[in-house]
Structure 1
Amino acid sequence: METVGEIGEKLVKQWLINKRWQIIQHRWRCRLGEIDLIALPNNSSNSLAFIEVKTRSRNNWDEQGILAITSQKQLKITQTATYFLAKYPKYLDYNGRFDVALVNYQKYNLQFCPKTESSLVWNNYYFKIQDYLENAFEVNG
């Protein structure tokens, strides 16, 4: 059975595909951690985006998930990205960046939940991409 987080990731993945991004990996894992999505943006032939997806219910305490991207989480993502690049050196010449996609969900209500390319309905819940933050954080050190 799929989790809320997995549905949020699938929504972001499909949204990026619709924007002509090339998805390199979905839920790439190694001993250091996981990166939700790794993709090549359509607007730049030399960028590689490491994307963290945060899916939260509306009015969540952590600002739709952005507060969950702590310095420790950033370090874990950057270390995992470094491991990815070591395993796939063909991407070493790309400009890496760290993006964050914020997805929210709520009980589905036809009147208040319009279907758009950045939304979907699953198990009577409405998911919508609230924000997409390019270069949400940088590698420190």
Structure 2
Amino acid sequence: MAAKDVLGRTGEELAGRWLERAGWEILDRNWRCRTGEIDLVALDGDDLVVVEVKTRRSLRLGHPAEAVTARKLARLRVLAGQWLAEHDVRAAGLRVDVIAVWLPDDGPARIDHRQGVS
């Protein structure tokens, strides 16, 4: 597995644990279809949340959340509909969140959870 893939998986694992500690239920991880991939699908109370996780080792290229473009958010909304069509889940609401994970070499991981970005 490439270093970039390992970094991404590490960030997704940290984000998943972060959400579980907050009381969320993780329904799916790395769900794929022909259109793309959803990093995490979770329930926050009665709301279904599609979570995009972006992980970086440094901020030289900017904050990880800045890598989530309007185009990516639009694709995530389409993917959310496809995920719902394949799963028997009832939710009061649906939203897209971004979790930015920064893994500096000289300290603990930092997590920035941005809710309802779309």
> As a proportion of its length, which structure holds more strand?
1
Q: Does 1:16 align with 2:19?
A: yes
On the 8 A contact 1:55/1:64 being kept in 2, the answer is: no
Matched, 1:69 2:68: yes
Output the CA distance in 2 between the equivalents of 1:67 and 1:18.
Answer: 25
RMSD of aligned alpha carbons: 1.6
Cα contact 1:54–1:64 (8 A) shared by 2: no
For the Cα contact (< 8 Å) 1:26–1:37, is it kept in 2?
Answer: yes
Preserved CA contact (<8 Å) 1:64 1:103: no
Partner of 2:54: 54
| 1:89 CA drift (Å) | 4.1
Q: Which runs of 5+ in 2 are unaligned?
A: none
Residue 60 of structure 1 and its aligned partner are, at CA, apart by 3.0
Partner of 1:121: none
Is the alpha carbon distance of 1:59 and 1:90 closer, same or farther for their aligned partners in structure 2, counting shifts above 3 Å? closer
Calculate the TM-score normalised by the size of structure 1: 0.74
Instruction: Return the offset for 1:71.
Output: 1.7
Q: 1:127 aligns with which of 109, 115, 118?
A: 109
> Runs of 5+ in structure 1 lacking a partner?
114-125
Per the normalisation by structure 2, the TM-score is 0.87
Greater fraction helix: 2
- Answer with 1 or 2: which has the greater Rg: 1
Distance 1:101 1:72 in 2: 17
Secondary structure of the corresponding residue to residue 59 of structure 1:
coil
CA-to-aligned-CA distance 1:110-133 (integer Å, 9 cap, x gap): xxx2xxxxxxxxxxxx4321x100
Paired-residue identity, %: 33
